[in-house]
Amino acid sequence: MELLSYAIAAIGAYFLGSIPTGFLVARAKGVDIRTVGSGNIGATNVFRILGKPAGVFVLAVDALKGWLACRLVANLAYAWFVGASTAAGVSVEHLSIIAGVFAVLGHNYTCWLRFKGGKGIATSAGVLVALVPWALLIIFVVWVIVFTLTRYVSLASISAAFTLPFAVWVTQGSIMLIAITASMSVLAIYKHRGNIQRLLHGTEPRLGSAKSQSMP
């Protein structure tokens, strides 16, 4: 039952996270989001190509996927396969962590688009709302400051990701959560490797610039 509950939480969260929101929203408008702008299916590219309402909708739904994975999928896995039993050694917290990680992996490597997805920032934010809300508040402040000063969404996201495990250390102190969020941070920064190259070369578009609309 212990392994089954973990497996159900992981698989259920992966498929929830793998719903390609940005791709589906763009497709409904006759656009293949993978072929325009940065080619990413995330909210930032949708915002650039389709406008603010579509971008905000994708951002909210992608974040909701992470939150639901931790709050709904994990609780269902616990209720169905663990219940009142304490012998299994499974807690809702552990299942929530597993579900959160796999929701982000599902978003980043969606099986519906040949395992090419987004960068996981919004979905990670939804996971953090469920698991470490105070740490999320800290990194949100970091994101806002960096974005306000630079107008680079990517740099703000990278800065927030880098800050995350330290914010968890300050607010939670849980070694497990610090390790998990550090892994999430590494993955988020890795997914921004193309942005990092453009930032170093001075070719990264700022949000709202004319260049951002036509970036290859």
Return the percentage of the chain with pLDDT > 90, whole number: 82
Is the domain of 31 the same as that of 73?
yes
Section 22-26 average pLDDT? 98
Q: pLDDT confidence of 86, banded at 50, 70, 90?
A: low
The span from the CA of 108 to the CA of 18, in Å, is 8
Rounded distance, CA 101 to CA 71, Å?
A: 13
Q: Which of 130, 152, 177 is the last residue of a domain?
A: 130
Q: 170 pLDDT band (50/70/90 cuts)? A: very high
In angstroms, how far is the first alpha carbon of the chain from the final one?
49
pLDDT surpasses 90 at 148: yes
Domain carrying residue 115: 1-130
What is the mean predicted confidence (pLDDT) over 76-90? 71
Q: How far apart are CA 63 and CA 80, in angstroms?
A: 25
Query: What local confidence, expressed as pLDDT, does residue 213 receive?
Result: 47
Query: In sequence order, what are the residues at sequence separation of 6 or more whose Cβ sits closer than 8 angstroms to the Cβ of residue 123?
Result: 17, 62, 63, 65, 66, 103, 104, 107
Last residue of a domain, one of 130, 153, 171: 130
Indicate if 74 and 151 belong to the same structural domain.
Answer: no
User: Which of 106, 130, 154 lies at the terminal end of a domain, its last residue?
Assistant: 130
Q: How confident is the model at residue 1 (pLDDT cuts 50, 70, 90)?
A: low
For every residue of 147-216, DSSP letters joined together read: HHHH--HHHHHHHHHHHHHHHHHHHT--HHHHHHHHHHHHHHHHHTHHHHHHHHHT-PPPTTSHHHHS--
Per-residue pLDDT of 111-120, as tens digits, reads 999 999 999 9
pTM: 0.89
Q: Tell me how many domains the chain contains.
A: 2
Instruction: Answer yes or no: do 122 and 180 share one domain.
Output: no
**Token pair listed for 202:** 């001075």
- Residues 127 and 8: their CA atoms lie apart, in Å, by 17
What average pLDDT does this structure show over 12-25?
Answer: 98
Residues near 41 by beta carbon (within 8 Å), at least 6 away in sequence: 20, 21, 22, 23, 26, 33, 34, 113, 117, 118
Which residue, among 69, 105, 73, has the nearest Cα to 184 in the 3D structure?
Answer: 105
Residues 11 and 74 in one domain: yes
